[in-house]
Structure 1
Protein backbone atom coordinates (compact mmCIF):
# COMPACT_ATOMS: atom_id res chain seq x y z
CA UNK A 1 0.00 0.00 0.00
CA UNK A 2 1.29 3.44 -0.79
CA UNK A 3 1.15 6.31 1.63
CA UNK A 4 2.29 9.92 1.63
CA UNK A 5 4.60 11.07 4.41
CA UNK A 6 6.32 14.43 4.87
CA UNK A 7 9.98 13.98 5.81
CA UNK A 8 12.43 16.82 6.26
CA UNK A 9 15.19 17.43 3.71
CA UNK A 10 17.98 16.61 6.16
CA UNK A 11 16.33 13.28 7.02
CA UNK A 12 15.85 12.44 3.33
CA UNK A 13 19.51 13.17 2.66
CA UNK A 14 20.53 10.90 5.53
CA UNK A 15 18.19 8.15 4.34
CA UNK A 16 19.65 8.44 0.83
CA UNK A 17 23.19 8.23 2.22
CA UNK A 18 22.33 5.11 4.23
CA UNK A 19 20.47 3.56 1.29
CA UNK A 20 23.47 4.06 -0.96
CA UNK A 21 25.86 2.63 1.64
CA UNK A 22 23.67 -0.44 2.23
CA UNK A 23 22.74 -0.76 -1.46
CA UNK A 24 19.00 -0.74 -0.78
CA UNK A 25 16.19 1.62 -1.72
CA UNK A 26 15.01 4.49 0.45
CA UNK A 27 11.56 2.88 0.51
CA UNK A 28 13.06 -0.33 1.84
CA UNK A 29 14.79 1.57 4.65
CA UNK A 30 11.54 3.28 5.61
CA UNK A 31 9.58 0.00 5.54
CA UNK A 32 12.19 -1.61 7.80
CA UNK A 33 12.12 1.37 10.17
CA UNK A 34 8.33 1.18 10.46
CA UNK A 35 8.46 -2.59 11.00
CA UNK A 36 11.11 -2.18 13.73
CA UNK A 37 9.12 0.55 15.45
CA UNK A 38 5.93 -1.51 15.45
CA UNK A 39 7.81 -4.53 16.81
CA UNK A 40 9.36 -2.52 19.63
CA UNK A 41 6.01 -0.93 20.45
CA UNK A 42 4.35 -4.35 20.69
CA UNK A 43 7.13 -5.62 22.97
CA UNK A 44 6.80 -2.54 25.18
CA UNK A 45 3.08 -3.23 25.63
CA UNK A 46 3.91 -6.79 26.70
CA UNK A 47 6.45 -5.55 29.21
CA UNK A 48 3.93 -3.13 30.69
CA UNK A 49 1.27 -5.85 30.90
CA UNK A 50 3.60 -8.30 32.62
CA UNK A 51 4.54 -5.63 35.13
CA UNK A 52 0.99 -4.93 36.30
CA UNK A 53 1.45 -7.03 39.45
CA UNK A 54 5.03 -5.96 40.15
CA UNK A 55 4.22 -3.37 42.82
CA UNK A 56 1.71 -5.40 44.79
CA UNK A 57 3.33 -8.18 46.76
CA UNK A 58 0.33 -10.50 46.60
CA UNK A 59 0.59 -14.21 47.12
CA UNK A 60 -0.93 -15.89 44.07
CA UNK A 61 -2.63 -18.66 46.05
CA UNK A 62 -4.17 -16.20 48.51
CA UNK A 63 -5.45 -14.07 45.65
CA UNK A 64 -6.94 -17.11 43.93
CA UNK A 65 -8.70 -18.26 47.10
CA UNK A 66 -10.06 -14.77 47.74
CA UNK A 67 -11.48 -14.48 44.24
CA UNK A 68 -13.00 -17.96 44.37
CA UNK A 69 -14.60 -17.26 47.74
CA UNK A 70 -16.57 -14.45 46.09
CA UNK A 71 -18.38 -16.96 43.86
Structure 2
Protein backbone atom coordinates (compact mmCIF):
# COMPACT_ATOMS: atom_id res chain seq x y z
CA UNK A 1 0.00 0.00 0.00
CA UNK A 2 1.31 3.45 -0.95
CA UNK A 3 1.20 6.62 1.13
CA UNK A 4 0.77 10.15 -0.08
CA UNK A 5 0.61 13.61 1.41
CA UNK A 6 -2.22 15.90 0.43
CA UNK A 7 -3.49 19.26 1.67
CA UNK A 8 -7.20 19.17 2.54
CA UNK A 9 -9.27 22.16 3.68
CA UNK A 10 -10.03 22.11 7.40
CA UNK A 11 -13.78 22.02 6.78
CA UNK A 12 -13.40 18.89 4.64
CA UNK A 13 -11.28 17.24 7.34
CA UNK A 14 -13.99 18.00 9.89
CA UNK A 15 -16.62 16.44 7.61
CA UNK A 16 -14.42 13.39 7.04
CA UNK A 17 -14.00 12.97 10.79
CA UNK A 18 -17.78 13.18 11.25
CA UNK A 19 -18.31 10.46 8.64
CA UNK A 20 -15.58 8.31 10.15
CA UNK A 21 -17.07 8.62 13.63
CA UNK A 22 -20.61 7.92 12.41
CA UNK A 23 -19.48 4.82 10.49
CA UNK A 24 -17.02 3.63 13.12
CA UNK A 25 -14.05 3.88 10.76
CA UNK A 26 -10.75 5.69 10.72
CA UNK A 27 -10.27 8.80 8.61
CA UNK A 28 -7.84 6.81 6.46
CA UNK A 29 -10.45 4.09 5.85
CA UNK A 30 -13.01 6.69 4.77
CA UNK A 31 -10.47 8.26 2.40
CA UNK A 32 -9.49 4.86 0.93
CA UNK A 33 -13.16 4.10 0.32
CA UNK A 34 -13.71 7.52 -1.27
CA UNK A 35 -10.75 7.08 -3.62
CA UNK A 36 -11.91 3.58 -4.55
CA UNK A 37 -15.45 4.85 -5.29
CA UNK A 38 -14.08 7.74 -7.34
CA UNK A 39 -11.92 5.42 -9.43
CA UNK A 40 -14.82 3.03 -9.99
CA UNK A 41 -17.08 5.87 -11.17
CA UNK A 42 -14.38 7.28 -13.47
CA UNK A 43 -14.03 3.89 -15.23
CA UNK A 44 -17.66 3.81 -16.29
CA UNK A 45 -18.29 4.56 -19.92
CA UNK A 46 -21.24 5.12 -22.18
CA UNK A 47 -24.63 4.10 -20.87
CA UNK A 48 -23.42 3.26 -17.35
CA UNK A 49 -21.87 6.69 -16.95
CA UNK A 50 -25.05 8.57 -17.82
CA UNK A 51 -27.78 6.22 -16.56
CA UNK A 52 -29.78 8.02 -13.87
CA UNK A 53 -28.03 11.33 -14.52
CA UNK A 54 -31.13 13.49 -14.15
CA UNK A 55 -32.17 11.84 -10.90
CA UNK A 56 -28.63 12.08 -9.55
CA UNK A 57 -28.84 15.85 -9.84
CA UNK A 58 -32.31 16.17 -8.32
CA UNK A 59 -34.49 16.26 -11.43
CA UNK A 60 -38.01 14.91 -11.03
CA UNK A 61 -38.72 14.96 -14.77
CA UNK A 62 -39.74 11.62 -16.30
CA UNK A 63 -37.20 11.20 -19.11
CA UNK A 64 -39.51 9.10 -21.26
CA UNK A 65 -42.36 11.60 -20.94
CA UNK A 66 -39.96 14.43 -21.80
CA UNK A 67 -38.82 12.55 -24.90
CA UNK A 68 -42.45 11.98 -25.96
CA UNK A 69 -43.22 15.69 -25.57
CA UNK A 70 -40.27 16.59 -27.77
CA UNK A 71 -41.24 14.06 -30.42
CA UNK A 72 -44.84 15.33 -30.42
CA UNK A 73 -43.46 18.53 -31.95
CA UNK A 74 -42.12 16.63 -34.96
CA UNK A 75 -44.21 16.43 -38.13
CA UNK A 76 -45.91 13.13 -38.95
CA UNK A 77 -43.87 10.91 -41.28
CA UNK A 78 -46.88 10.61 -43.59
CA UNK A 79 -46.99 14.39 -43.99
CA UNK A 80 -43.33 14.50 -44.95
CA UNK A 81 -43.76 11.71 -47.51
CA UNK A 82 -46.73 13.46 -49.15
CA UNK A 83 -44.78 16.73 -49.36
CA UNK A 84 -41.90 14.93 -51.07
CA UNK A 85 -44.28 13.35 -53.58
CA UNK A 86 -45.83 16.74 -54.39
CA UNK A 87 -42.38 18.25 -54.96
CA UNK A 88 -41.20 15.41 -57.17
CA UNK A 89 -44.41 15.54 -59.24
CA UNK A 90 -43.95 19.25 -59.94
TM-score for both structures, normalised by structure 2 = 0.49
Highest relative contact order (Cα 8 Å, sep 6+), 1 or 2? 1
Q: Return the alpha-carbon distance in structure 2 between the equivalents of residues 15 and 28 of structure 1.
A: 10
**RMSD across aligned positions (CA):** 1.2
When the two structures are superposed, what TM-score results if normalisation uses the length of structure 1? 0.61
Unaligned runs of at least 5 residues, structure 1: 49-71
Alignment correspondent of 1:34: 35
Task: Name which one, 1 or 2, has greater alpha-carbon Rg.
Answer: 2
Aligned residues: 46
Equivalent position of 2:8 in the other structure: 7
Dislocated runs of 4+, deviation >2 Å = none
